[in-house]
Structure 1
Amino acid sequence: MSNLQCWSSQKDDRGDYEVAVIYFRAGYSPNNYPTESEWRARLLMEQSCAVKCPSISYHLAGTKKIQQELAKPNVLERFVDNPEDISKLRKCFAGLWSLDDPNIVKDAMDQPELFVLKPQREGGGNNVYGDDVREKLKELHKEGGEGFAAYILMQRIFPQTSDAHFVRKGCYHRDQAISELGIYGAYLRNKEKVILNNQCGYLMRTKVSSSDEGGVAAGFAVLDSIYLT
């Protein structure tokens, strides 16, 4: 976890520096924890009084398995009281399923273009699309299904495309594009007390509709702006 960054505050009574904020640039991938030493370091940080960005609970909330669990009936009710808010949230959900469901696995094998196979990882470069979904499911089945728990199946979303103009390395071309809007949020709590929970900006990225990947840093998409009409 060499990319871990810590900011320090004032010295304590012993003359040592007390860490105020722990910001994770690593720790999101299994290869960041090759030995028990890394796990002990993560536990030490989580048990500290420093502000964690993200904390382990916030980190886990972004995993695919938790998203799948939240999509199950009667789960949102544990966290949201207003029935109208629950209904609005559910309308935003795509289908999310465990590989323990043989009917869904069969559907994905028969029509892999309608699904995305997602591992418990960050999205960019790790999701499986198209015919590769069928091949990966076959591979997991040959291994006895032991790897099923590491993946979920998601209903593939087919967003509306729009005509766009792209320039790369001085060359212009016109293509069908897909845009994705991400909302930034700031969240800070102390145990059960929520100190800050605000929307604080957005990011718009645009890519050609034929691309399965959408990372800006990886070169698949470009930063864009909203144009309201």
Structure 2
Amino acid sequence: MALATGTVAERVAALRERVDDVSVAAGRAAGSVAILAVTKKHPREAVLQALGAGLADIGENYVQEAREKYVDLPPCTRHFIGHVQTNKAKAVAGLFDVVQSVDRLDAGLALAKASRDAGRRLRVLVQVNVSPSERFGAAPREAPGLAARLRDEGLDVDGVMAIGPLDGDVDGAFARARETFEQVGGTTLSLGMSGDWERAVRYGSTMIRIGTAIFGPRPAKERNAA
């Protein structure tokens, strides 16, 4: 999808309309796919603009950025979408409502302890690796067992997150993500980003993670480092 021109609010409106069109074309209901605004490297003002435009879900990759931008926000759901480091589990559990990137048992155990200590029930997704170029994520065959263990630890496992490949067999990767989601259970299949979300919706994604199409490109330094 090409980047819409105009304000953040205008971009969100255009994206919402396109998401509904793609959903209906895939035999799904309009409004059945949530949009997660990825705020990585974008300023707090942009976050407020996205929430003001009607989005309810925002996501960050880094704890430090969230500390600076995610305080005193209007009502919304804050998602952690970066790699979970066990030594930052307490901070993650305190700052975020959902952790989408639980890819291994030790990370899940650390989050479970942190959430128990904080007296809150943390919602998580199992990150599944469906791309040969992706470093993180549990193997699809291991995801159901990991989800069961995390539920035993008191975490609310609500589905699966996956990052699609940049090229190659994207359809096969998305199909594996959907099949793993069906095995893990829950309500959320977080699949699809600015470049591939339309295909993800056709494979059953219930949440797409969008940064560029809402906020525009990240600063050049960040793009080169990614």
- Do Structure 1 and Structure 2 share a fold, with TM-score over 0.5? no
| Higher normalized contact order (CA 8 Å, seq sep 6+, divided by chain length) | 2
Q: When the two structures are superposed, what TM-score results if normalisation uses the length of structure 1?
A: 0.25
Larger radius of gyration: 1
More helix by share: 2
Q: When the two structures are superposed, what TM-score results if normalisation uses the length of structure 2?
A: 0.26
More strand by share: 1
